[in-house]
Amino acid sequence: MNQFDVIVVGAGLAGVCAARQALQAGAKTALVTKGWLGGIGIRGSGASGCGASEGGRPAFFRLLDKSFDADNYRDKIINAGLGMVEPDMVSFFMEEFVKMKSEAEEIMSCYQQPGPFSLGTPLVRTHLDFIRKHAKIYCQTTAAQLLVKDNVCSGTLCVDESTGRTSPLYSKAVVLAAGGDAGLFSVNVHPECVSGDGYALGLKAGAEAINLEFMQIFTMTTVPTRNLIHFANAEYLSSLYNVERKKFLSRYLPKGISLNQCIRENILHAPFSVRDRASRYLAIGIVKEIKAGRGTPSGGIYVDLRNCPSFRNTRQDHFFRYRGIDTSAHPVEVSMGFQCCNGGLRINKKMETTVAGLFAAGENAGGLHGADRLGGNMLAACIITGRIAGQHAAACAQDRTCAEHPPCRPKQLLAAKPDLAKKYARLIMEIRQSAWDNLLVIKSESSINQFLILIDGISEEARKIAPSPGEVPVEVDNLLILAKALAKTSLERKESRGGFYREDYPTPAKRTPEAHILTLSEASDVTLRKEVLDPQWNPDFKDMLDKERWG
């Protein structure tokens, strides 16, 4: 019998932090990862090890600044969230953030090397030897279903990716740290393992999700490799044109918005946001050009940096060369793509979800970020939430016994059946392309309903070609659940706020904003209720971030 105190699902930064904390608390711990533990840019490494940026570091560097003001930073997080965060949870996050001061210098010393050794990779590597020595590691293993009875989680049903064999792992607590839902969109910078499993597993187990509609959307290269591209200088955007070699951005600027204003505001933040007046039109223009058929064969537009001296010999320039992109030789092809989700499963201060014994960390933990998120806070949150989740999962395990479940039905896994994967490949690509078209940058009632019609058709087709009645493969089932959840919350949010833009409702609602709390019924229907998280939020707020680069 495979019995543990704690099972951690996911092996990115949040997952390894949770596993180490649980192990140090004396818990018998298993780590389940779809790929391999500790890689860069491959399955198992997660978003924190995607290797798609020359930069990326946790926000703990702020603690090394003698002028750092924790109260001011707390206020900026709330201000960035635009009413979509609970002030009490932000205060708790800041308490834990400040506690990291004694470790900040050691942590930040890991970030002296640019290139793929950024994001979560340096810190993941510091935990690997300890975890390999003390934990039971299940590589190339997919957590297909959580074992839940009477709203108590007691393990997970796993599938071996190489054999397709299904087996249960029992535990007294489970930590979900499986990353966000990048795999729902055709353009993203993440390994294929980052496909929203944590959200789908949690929802199917009865947990609540919050803020899933708020995403960070970045400009990124499309060929030969996908990488984040940061427009830190106005000169970088001086030559932006379509496949016909024609500049197009001015066509999408409304009256009263100048090209210079659009470019100037984009320099203050890499993520797409509607919190200012003009920056949004860069992303909107790029997407509309591509959808109008004036994009490149790779589905992008051109940014010409050949005559851009300020880009030469920068860290980004050297990183791009390493990734096969020579900006001095040819224009760069870029598009808008998914970077991360600001929402997740709803958690309390123990990182426990609304299902007892089920904890969430990293991008699976929702409520700490709102409509917009400050740069570096996701990596910081991975460390903080991972540690807390591991600590409290271990404490939970001390008070519980493993509950055995009746034999479970085997689960189908595309990764284990190449012949099955071929049948579903087209359906998966249709979901991902339609999600990019209709749910990423530009949304409207029409586009969301169009997406839902396609999802209904794909759901029916997926059932018809299933190897056994009602047994849609795990990866497809998870994508369909996420698609319906994101469409539901996007349709209900009749406004634009932060990284969420509705073309038919282009401004924020002039009322106290409400968060969308999602659950999944036994019939797999997505249900939604609304909740005010910050009753004191003023719709006429003063933006604290309009004069500084915040993300």
DSSP E strand boundaries for 164-264 = 166-176, 209-210, 215-221, 240-241
Amino acid at 219: T
Q: Is the pLDDT of residue 114 over 70?
A: no
Which of left, alpha, beta for 145 (phi over 0: left; psi -120 to 50: alpha)? beta
Query: Using CA atoms, how far apart are residues 169 and 305, in angstroms rounded to an integer?
Result: 52
Considering the chain, tell me which residue range(s) the CATH 1.20.58.100 domain(s) occupy: 414-528
Instruction: Name which residue leads in pLDDT, 548 or 273.
Output: 273
Considering the chain, tell me which residue range(s) the CATH 3.90.700 domain(s) occupy: 216-339
CATH number given to 216-339: 3.90.700
Are 360 and 198 a contacting pair, CB within 8 Å? yes
Query: Using CA atoms, how far apart are residues 45 and 12, in angstroms rounded to an integer?
Result: 5
How far is it between the farthest Cα atoms of the chain?
A: 68
Instruction: Name which residue leads in pLDDT, 42 or 326.
Output: 326
271 C-beta neighbours (distance < 10 Å), count: 21
Are 187 and 226 a contacting pair, CB within 8 Å? yes
CATH superfamily ID and name for 3-213+342-398 = FAD/NAD(P)-binding domain (3.50.50.60)
Q: Is the pLDDT of residue 365 over 70?
A: yes
CA 144 to chain centre: 19
Query: Using CA atoms, how far apart are residues 17 and 15, in angstroms rounded to an integer?
Result: 5
Instruction: Convert 436-475 to b/e letters by CB count within 10 Å (16 or more is b).
Output: bbbbbbbbbeebbeebbebbeebbeebeeebeeeeebbbb
CA-wise closest residue to 485 among 366, 357, 339: 366
User: What is the per-residue pLDDT for 40?
Assistant: 66
Q: Is the pLDDT of residue 263 over 90?
A: yes
Query: Using CA atoms, how far apart are residues 199 and 204, in angstroms rounded to an integer?
Result: 9
Query: Using CA atoms, how far apart are residues 231 and 236, in angstroms rounded to an integer?
Result: 6
Measured over the CA atoms of residue 20, residue 21, residue 22 and residue 26, the dihedral's sign is positive
Structure tokens at 199: 């959200």
Considering the chain, tell me which residue range(s) the CATH 3.50.50.60 domain(s) occupy: 3-213+342-398
Q: Provide mean pLDDT across the span 381-391.
A: 97
Give whole-number Cα distances, 452 to 37, 94, 376, 525, in Å: 36, 39, 34, 13
The CATH-assigned architecture of domain 414-528 is Up-down Bundle (1.20)
Rounded to the nearest integer, the mean pLDDT of the chain is 93
Structure tokens at 173: 């607590």
Q: Read off the pLDDT of residues 159-187 as tens digits, 9 standing for 90 and up.
A: 999 999 999 999 999 999 999 999 999 99
Q: Are strands 29-32 and 3-9 parallel, antiparallel or unpaired?
A: parallel
Query: Using CA atoms, how far apart are residues 15 and 34, in angstroms rounded to an integer?
Result: 12
Are 363 and 351 a contacting pair, CB within 8 Å? no
User: What is the per-residue pLDDT for 41?
Assistant: 67
Query: Using CA atoms, how far apart are residues 85 and 4, in angstroms rounded to an integer?
Result: 34
Q: Is the pLDDT of residue 506 over 60?
A: yes
Are 501 and 495 a contacting pair, CB within 8 Å? no
Q: Provide mean pLDDT across the span 482-508.
A: 98
Q: Read off the pLDDT of residues 409-446 as tens digits, 9 standing for 90 and up.
A: 889 999 888 888 999 999 999 999 999 999 999 999 99
Q: Read off the pLDDT of residues 86-102 as tens digits, 9 standing for 90 and up.
A: 999 999 999 999 999 99
Q: Please state, for a pLDDT cut of 90, what percent of the chain lies above it.
A: 78
Query: Using CA atoms, how far apart are residues 395 and 404, in angstroms rounded to an integer?
Result: 20
CA-wise closest residue to 167 among 136, 193, 144: 144
CA 320 to chain centre: 23
Q: Read off the pLDDT of residues 209-259 as tens digits, 9 standing for 90 and up.
A: 999 999 999 999 999 999 998 888 888 888 999 999 999 999 999 999 999
